[in-house]
């Protein structure tokens, strides 16, 4: 009872919305809200992870063949870029907590630049797939799925698909469908993340966030790390698993 009376409506706090009792409650609500949202996101990606697991078990050779065709270097660079961006994001949150405005802005800019780098590299990868006729079905009209298959004994050509024994083109197409669905959905989340961070950057340039009030920075950080973690799972599943089968 005493607790209830002691809590005063801190109307003086400009950032406090009218329906919250105090800043602490508001901060707790927004953080919990973001966590609950991320649970939803996890289930959203979960459906695709399930499909991936099912078909990888069903068609291991086709999935390994298709996976080997992906560009490991670009995938690796992108992984590093994304981990770095998570690091700068964490620094941005820290700087806003301790009230270092300049560091906060620098870190946010770095995060956005790294995010855009990731998206740029992803676009290069997509274009390579387009060049090699690997876009599944009629996704791009007039450019059906029709990769060239490397004949055994011919010199290695990185634009040709090296099919392992037991792999069929139809099942390879299935891999690329899942690849585009998962990385495409991930890229969409990255684009939204860059948008959110740009808004955060604008307000932090205006000096809105400091030790008193920084939950928007914090929860955008949570979102950014989540999108990062999705990639941390996508990278080994799509690029690495089955790579050792190349030389069998």
Partner 1 sequence: MKAFETFETPAAARVNYINAQYGLKSWLLTKDHKRIALLYLGSISFFFLVGGVYAMLIRLELLTPQGDLLSSATYNKVFTQHGIIMIFFFLIPSIPATLGNFLVPMMIGAKDLAFPRINLLSWYIYLLGGIVTIYALLAGGVDTGWTFYVPYSTTFSNSYVIAAGLGIFISGFSSILTGLNFIVTIHTMRAPGMTWFRLPLFIWAHYATSLVMILGTPVVAITILLLAFERLTHVGIFDPANGGDPVLFQHLFWFYSHPAVYIMVLPSMGVVSELIANFSRKNIFGYRFVAFSSLAIAVFGFLVWGHHLFVASQSVYAGMVFSFLSFAVAIPSAIKVFNWTATLYKGSISYDTPMLYALGFIGLFTVGGMTGLFLASLAIDVHVSDTYFIVAHFHYIMVGGALFGYLGGLHYWWPKISGRMYPEGWGRFSALVIFVGFNLTFLPQFVAGYLGMPRRYHAYPPEFQVFNVLSSAGASILGFGLLIPAIYLVWSMRYGKHAEANPWHLPGLEWRTASPPPTENFLTTPIVTWEAYEFAPPEEMQVIGKMREEAVSSEQ
List contacts with partner 1 (CB under 8 A): 1-5, 7, 17-21, 25, 28-29, 32-33, 36-37, 39-41, 43-48, 50-51, 54-55, 58-59, 136-139, 145, 168, 170-171, 173-174, 177-178, 181, 185
Euclidean distance between CA atoms 49 and 233, whole angstroms: 10
**Distance in angstroms between the alpha carbons of the first and the last residue of the chain:** 73
- Residue closer to partner 1 (CB basis): 2 or 248: 2
CB of 145 to partner 1, least distance (A): 7
- Residue closer to partner 1 (CB basis): 53 or 244: 53
CB of 22 to partner 1, least distance (A): 11
- Backbone φ and ψ for 113, nearest 5 degrees, come out as -60, -45
Q: What is the DSSP string of 125-183?
A: HHHHHHHTT-S-TTSSTT--S-PPBPPTTSPP-TTSB-PPTT--HHHHHHHHHHHHHHH
Q: Is 149 helix (H, G, I), strand (E, B) or coil?
A: strand
Q: H or E segment at 144?
A: none
Beta bridge mates, 149: 161
CB of 91 to partner 1, least distance (A): 27
CB of 40 to partner 1, least distance (A): 5
CB of 246 to partner 1, least distance (A): 22
- Residue closer to partner 1 (CB basis): 116 or 196: 196
CB of 226 to partner 1, least distance (A): 13
CB of 62 to partner 1, least distance (A): 8
Give the number of other CB atoms < 10 A from CB of residue 194. Answer: 19
- Residue closer to partner 1 (CB basis): 37 or 87: 37
Q: Is 161 helix (H, G, I), strand (E, B) or coil?
A: strand
Q: Long-range CB contacts (< 8 A, 24+ apart) of 111-115? A: 111/85, 111/197, 111/224, 112/194, 112/197, 112/198, 112/201, 114/81, 114/82, 114/84, 114/85, 114/88, 115/85, 115/190, 115/193, 115/194, 115/197, 115/224
- Residue closer to partner 1 (CB basis): 105 or 218: 218
- Residue closer to partner 1 (CB basis): 39 or 83: 39
């Amino acid at each position: 009872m005493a607790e209830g009376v002691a809590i005063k409506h801190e109307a003086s706090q400009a950032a406090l919305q009218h329906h919250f009792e105090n800043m602490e409650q508001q901060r707790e609500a927004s953080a919990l809200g973001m966590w609950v949202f991320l649970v939803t996101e996890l289930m959203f990606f979960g459906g695709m992870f399930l499909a991936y697991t099912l078909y990888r078990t069903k068609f291991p050779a086709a999935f390994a063949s298709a996976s080997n065709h992906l560009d490991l270097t670009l995938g690796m660079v992108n992984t590093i870029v994304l981990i770095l961006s998570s690091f700068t994001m964490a620094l941005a949150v820290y700087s806003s907590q301790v009230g270092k405005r300049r560091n906060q802005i620098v870190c946010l800019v770095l995060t956005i630049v790294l995010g855009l780098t990731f998206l740029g590299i992803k676009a290069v990868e997509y274009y390579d797939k387009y060049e090699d006729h690997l876009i599944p079905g009629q996704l791009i009209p007039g450019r059906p799925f029709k990769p060239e298959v490397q004949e055994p004994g011919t010199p290695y050509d990185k634009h040709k698909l090296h099919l392992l024994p037991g792999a069929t083109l139809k099942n390879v197409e299935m891999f690329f469908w899942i690849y585009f669905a998962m990385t495409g959905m991930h890229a969409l989340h990255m684009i939204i993340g860059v948008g959110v961070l740009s808004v955060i950057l604008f307000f932090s340039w205006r000096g809105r966030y400091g030790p008193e009030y920084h939950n928007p920075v914090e929860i955008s950080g949570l979102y950014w790390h989540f999108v990062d973690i999705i990639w941390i799972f996508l990278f080994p599943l799509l690029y690495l698993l089955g790579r050792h089968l190349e030389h069998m």
